[in-house]
């Protein structure tokens, strides 16, 4: 159990540092690169997605190590034998999708729970970052309002 806790905490710290570095670069370092606002927004979204895929990959490596070398547990359900199977399970866990066709056993369950919480926080962090970036970069036009129809009516008791 101690190895699983150390591995999970290490993964959380590592993924947060990666995410921080990527978002920091997107806000500061990328500012030095000339591009239109629309392209900048697309780059922000794609780089944030790439960061998530790297973080998911780190968890997939941890699952492969935990399943094999570290003997922290195994997987039930559909067979997990290839690297893509670990990556699939990691994506499902990171996004909190939880399909259930593959499920961990023993101490890998703890790492899976931590990954779901970690993924939730990092996805929210990216979402709020993209929201702020779009608020600053996205060109919004003022909406036109419909013309008002003015009618004059006289009601009983009104003085004209």
| Digit-coded pLDDT (tens) for 18-27 | 999 999 999 9
76 domain residue, yes or no: yes
- Cα gap 104→114, rounded to integer Å: 13
Task: Catalogue the E-assigned strands of the chain.
Answer: 75-77, 102-104
Which structural domain range is residue 110 located in?
Answer: 2-30+37-137
Domain-embedded: residue 86: yes
**pTM exceeding 0.75:** yes
The per-residue pLDDT for 153 is 67
Residue 65 resides in a domain: yes
Instruction: Identify whether 114 is part of a domain.
Output: yes
Compute CA distances 52 → 15, 47, 74, whole Å: 9, 9, 24
- pLDDT tens for 138-152 read 887 788 888 887 776
Per the model's pLDDT, the better-predicted residue between 154 and 39 turns out to be: 39
Q: Which pLDDT belongs to residue 158? A: 57
Question: pLDDT band for position 155 (50/70/90)?
Answer: low
Residue 107 near residue 75, CB atoms below 8 Å:
no
């Amino acid at each position: 159990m101690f190895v699983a806790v150390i591995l999970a905490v290490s993964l959380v710290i590592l993924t947060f540092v990666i995410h921080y570095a990527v978002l920091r670069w997107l806000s500061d370092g990328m500012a030095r690169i000339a591009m239109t606002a629309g392209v900048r927004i697309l780059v922000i979204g794609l780089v944030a997605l790439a960061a998530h895929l790297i973080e998911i990959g780190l968890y997939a490596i941890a699952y492969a190590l935990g399943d094999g070398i570290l003997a922290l547990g195994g997987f039930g359900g559909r067979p997990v034998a290839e690297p893509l199977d670990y990556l699939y399970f990691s994506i499902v866990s990171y996004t909190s999708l939880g399909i259930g066709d593959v499920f961990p056993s023993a101490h890998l369950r703890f790492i899976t729970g931590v990954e779901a919480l970690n993924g939730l926080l990092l996805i929210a962090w990216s979402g709020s970052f993209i929201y702020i970036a779009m608020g600053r970069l996205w060109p919004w036009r003022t909406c036109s309002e419909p013309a008002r129809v003015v009618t004059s009516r006289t009601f009983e008791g009104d003085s004209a």
